[in-house]
Amino acid sequence: MRNIGSALTLIVMDEAGMHEPRTYRVEPKRLLVLAGVLVLAVGLLMVLLVVATPIRGLIPGLATEGMREEAQRNAQRLQAMEDSLASQDAYLAQLRDLVLGRVEPGERAAPLSEAEIEAEVEDLAPGPPGGRPGGFPRSIAESDAAWPGGEPGLAMPAPAGSFASVPGLRFPVVAPVAGVFTRGYSEDQRHYAVDFAAEQGSPVSSVGDGRVLFADWTHDAGHVIVVQHADGFVSVYKHNDRLLRRPGDRVSARETIAFSGNTGELTTGPHLHFELWRNGSALDPREYIVGL
């Protein structure tokens, strides 16, 4: 057997014999060295691709500690978002039942721990029969039920029970925000509110004494705060930039409860969307706000 270090002569001949044979001197040792260098270069290139690119995270067992921690944080964030959405859905369901007059005796309208709030919600009377199609309640103007003591300018009497200590709303009330009236109440358009264009960050005030039922973010209306007043009145303030009160907080008339903004999907600019409800029926706020 020839030594691997010995040189070899490679002769290349034309099959037809038309050209002179070509000879090449080949050293197997050099070929092996060249092949080894190529294999090493390819290996180093693969290592660099794995270490210096995101491919590393796709290979089981090669993820760095930082990647594992980031994955854990992302999983925790996802769980927190799911919990938050579930809590928000529960809040919205309870609020919807309250606004639509579906609160039954003994059923709580908001997840509050204070017995006083529970008693207040139990005192709420159901809304008038004959709601509008699609789950939208009809207004007081359409309702068969009369409004006892509902003359403008008179304080509404508070019902007996734990909520009796809270003064009733005194109509007409002052607008909840300093702004320009831009859109009115329209049942045909299902806009059960009035809109005020206001500079972002303007103070939003409660129209009367009451208790905060809901204060959270919603997809369509952004930051929303809802206040329960005496005699079954509920005021709703939407598209706020920031909320200043939490569910269960007592608020006073003209107390700042939020700052106006432009949050939520259903908004076309900085403004306050204000709704007024009573016993599950939507009211036209223009009839109860001074100057409109």
Query: Do 36 and 131 fall within a single domain?
Result: no
Question: Is residue 73 in a domain?
Answer: no
Question: Is residue 66 in a domain?
Answer: no
Question: Is residue 193 in a domain?
Answer: yes
Query: Do 40 and 160 fall within a single domain?
Result: no
Question: Is residue 70 in a domain?
Answer: no
Nearest to 177 by CA among 274, 68, 35, 262: 274
The confidence score (pLDDT) of residue 225 equals 96
Nearest to 212 by CA among 167, 257, 164: 257
Question: Is residue 191 in a domain?
Answer: yes
Query: Do 121 and 54 fall within a single domain?
Result: no
Question: Is residue 87 in a domain?
Answer: no
The span from the CA of 202 to the CA of 204, in Å, is: 6
Radius of gyration of the chain measured on its C-alpha atoms: 37
The confidence score (pLDDT) of residue 110 equals 41
Query: Do 49 and 180 fall within a single domain?
Result: no
The confidence score (pLDDT) of residue 129 equals 32
DSSP E strands, the chain:
8-12, 22-26, 180-183, 194-197, 203-205, 210-218, 222-228, 233-243, 250-251, 256-260, 271-278, 281-283
Nearest to 166 by CA among 256, 233, 85: 233
The confidence score (pLDDT) of residue 30 equals 79
Query: Do 119 and 24 fall within a single domain?
Result: no
The confidence score (pLDDT) of residue 100 equals 53
Given a cut of 50, the residues of the chain with pLDDT beneath it are 1, 103-114, 116-164
The confidence score (pLDDT) of residue 109 equals 37
Domain range for 261:
115-287
Cβ–Cβ < 8 Å for 126, 153 = no
Per the structure, the count of domains in the chain is 2
Backbone angle region of 23, left / alpha / beta, with phi > 0 → left and psi within -120 to 50 → alpha: beta
Query: Do 131 and 23 fall within a single domain?
Result: no
Cβ–Cβ < 8 Å for 260, 241 = yes
Please report, for the domain that includes residue 171, its CATH number: 2.70.70.10
pTM for this predicted structure: 0.49
